[in-house]
Chain A
Amino acid sequence: MAQTPPPASPAPDGAPQGAPPPAVPFERVLTAAMGQPGSHELDHYLRRGGYVGAHKALTSMTPEEVIKVVTDSKLRGRGGAGFPAGIKWSGTRGNPAPRYLVVNADESEPGTYGNRYAMDTDPHMLLEGMIICSFAVGINLAYIYIRGENLHGYETLELAVRQARERGYLGRGLFGTDFNLEIYVHRGAGAYVCGEETALMESLEGKRAQPRTRPPHPFQVGGGLFGRPTVVNNVETLMCVPHIIVRGAEWFAAIGSPNCPGPKVYCVSGNVNRPGIYEAPMGLLLSELIFGDEYAQGVPGGRAVKAVSPGALASPLISGGELEVKLDVDAVRAPPYRTQLGAGGIIVYDDSVCMVELLLRAEQFFAHESCGKCVPCREGTHWMVDVLRRITAGRGREKDLDLLNNVAGNMSGLPFHQRTLCALADFAAGPMMSAIGKFREDFDYHIREQACPQQRQLAHA
């Protein structure tokens, strides 16, 4: 994507003592090589300073020092939960070996596609992050779990692993040390729930992808892959790591939101003029991402933004009047938004989209992807589809909205494990309740007029 950082404003001569330092221009590091032919090749990566971070970590730092730098950087997981990476690593390191690293490359949330570009463009950056993590945690065997549909990404990673192995960046005695690491790429075969870390590990073990009961947690004995303490990290999280090691924790912590810092790859899709991935400081304003010249450049035809899924399809919707929100993990969680950033997939819907039709298709997705293990999710998603189908078919009843709210309410709102083993039920319920709360006029119109307010059928009846 064409994206240029704003020019640095030169510090004026004779600036008074105590004036704030001039703003450091933001530099893209995660997507810097996008669009460069051959960027996935090892030699291309080496010419750009590749594997310098891994070399530095393995030859001049102790594992504890690496974990401290990552902790000090305040790097938080980019997959959605926002858990501090350094704490996850040190917790796993505290449990007995063998330990494993699993990269969650199952990216399947409607509206997210940043990992696909990242792995196509810079697979070695991911491998380097994995080497540093494995060294820090004391891991000698790591897997990348990539969704089955992304065959091209699988082939790209296989090539990268082969090149790294041939040139000694993987295998035995890395960088002249006694540290050994093997990485295997593992394909999924079509199941959104594999993005949930315990379902992913079940799937990797050759089973149906159904979430596990916790505790034990993945970082504990009995809870991780093959029952061993395991780090599960998102692709983007690990790709931040080489840069943190090379440039330092302070550099990272100074970018964007202080409580959730660093560069973030935002994916924009839906009704925008320039859908694409945009790397920006964590905490970018949603309105700037949608309308900014350097970003998605507004809505086709100059139509109004009706609604946004700020953290891809699973996030509660926000309305077109709520676009002045900072896109970081904590800011979108806070009132009045009460939604989530997810993996940073922003879907924009213009004023031609009927929210009832949209929710029907969304709930069809969650019903199809529910693994069937927990009753509220298995039953609730299908009930919501049935009721929404009735409404869009022109047979809606006044009390159907209470019914939808009731079903969704029974699927969500409690900590994990009090109702369901994973968050898929919450993911289905959040958009439903927010749509009825914020776009009730669409539902009322459907029920009152027995017709769509947009006279346009989006979803299947």
Chain B
Amino acid sequence: MPLSQAVKDLVVNEYIPRYPTKRAALVMALWAAQNEQGWLSSETFEEIGELLDLDATDVNAVASFYTMFHRRPIGRQLIEVCDNPPCLVNNAHETMQRLCDRLGLESAAGHGGGTTADGEYTVRFAECLAACDMAPAVQVNYRYYGPVRPDDVERFLANMESFSIETPIPPVPGQSGPPAGAAATPAGMVKEG
């Protein structure tokens, strides 16, 4: 699916003028593209490259360095459980186990994660989310929730917002992303990793 004119306009009119080089707008542009498309395809790399005078190979070489850019479709709701030491000693693995059990996933070990057959959820571990006082800390589509203790998992899946630790702030076009559940997920879901 080609990038919309709105995203291209954002890159050209908003992001590029912020920096002395075109290239510096790359990560912000990739964010805007991923928030629209749900993931980053080779075609998207070509389109971004054209806007910034970069080879698609070069764009890919940068995008693939960063863990938050997806090279394959993922679930509409990306649930990430931190299991770095402050969360680890507060039973993050038990929280993950209960999440996987509840969603019918065999395992979400490591950064690959697991995706439900209906494409609704992708579950994976995250490195430290800087919410160590909310251990175990969880993000869903990069929104902060916590603490989500093992016994909270049922309630969390039924009503995530009651675990939110964010105050309402106006969204930023291109960056805030679609609300959870609204992203279009192409067919042919595959496990990321």
Contact = CB atoms under 8 A, between A and B. Distances in A.
Given A155-B171, A269-B133, A365 B68 contact: no
A188 B83 contact: no
Contacts of B135: 269-270, 275
A267 B85 contact: no
Contacts of A159: 169-170
B62 to A, nearest CB: 6
Nearest to B165: A152
Interface in A297-338: 309, 313
Nearest to A300: B90
Contacts of A441: none
A190 interface: yes
Interface string B42-76: 00000000001000000001110111110000000
Interface string B127-142: 1111111010001001
B193 to A, nearest CB: 13
A113 interface: yes
A338 B29 CA distance: 43
A189 B111 contact: no
A279 B67 CA distance: 32
B98 to A, nearest CB: 16
B178 interface: no
A265 B12 CA distance: 40
Contact of A458 (B19, B21, B88): B88
B151 interface: no
Given A269-B135, A270-B85, A155 B176 contact: yes
Contacts of B31: 148, 187, 189
Given A347-B86, A358-B85, A154 B172 contact: yes
Nearest to B141: A151
B156 to A, nearest CB: 18
B20 interface: yes
Nearest to A147: B130
Contacts of B8: none
B23 A206 contact: yes
A308 to B, nearest CB: 11
Q: How large is the interface on B (under 10, 10 to 19, 20 to 34, 35 or more residues)?
A: 35 or more
Given A270-B85, A365-B84, A368-B111, A120 B167 contact: yes
A189 B132 contact: no
Contact of A277 (B21, B88, B133, B144): B133
Interface in A140-192: 147-152, 154-156, 158-159, 184, 186-192
Interface residues of A, number: 64
A350 B176 CA distance: 39
Given A158-B172, A270-B85, A275-B132, A148 B127 contact: no
B175 to A, nearest CB: 7
Contact of B85 (A111, A187, A189, A208): A111
Interface stretch (A15-23, A53-61, A65-73, A102-110): A102-110
A410 B65 CA distance: 26
Given A206-B25, A365-B84, 8 more contacts: A107-B130, A120-B167, A154-B175, A189-B69, A277-B133, A350-B89, A353-B89, A459-B88
Interface of B: 18-21, 23-28, 30-31, 52, 61-63, 65-69, 83-86, 88-90, 93, 109-111, 126-133, 135, 139, 142-144, 166-167, 169-172, 175-177
24 contacts: A108-B127, A111-B86, A116-B131, A148-B66, A149-B68, A149-B130, A149-B139, A151-B175, A152-B169, A158-B175, A189-B27, A189-B31, A189-B63, A189-B69, A190-B66, A190-B68, A207-B62, A275-B86, A275-B133, A361-B83, A361-B88, A365-B84, A368-B127, A458-B88
8 cross-chain pairs, A with B, having the tightest CB-CB distances, nearest first: A269-B132, A189-B66, A190-B67, A206-B26, A190-B68, A269-B86, A206-B23, A110-B128
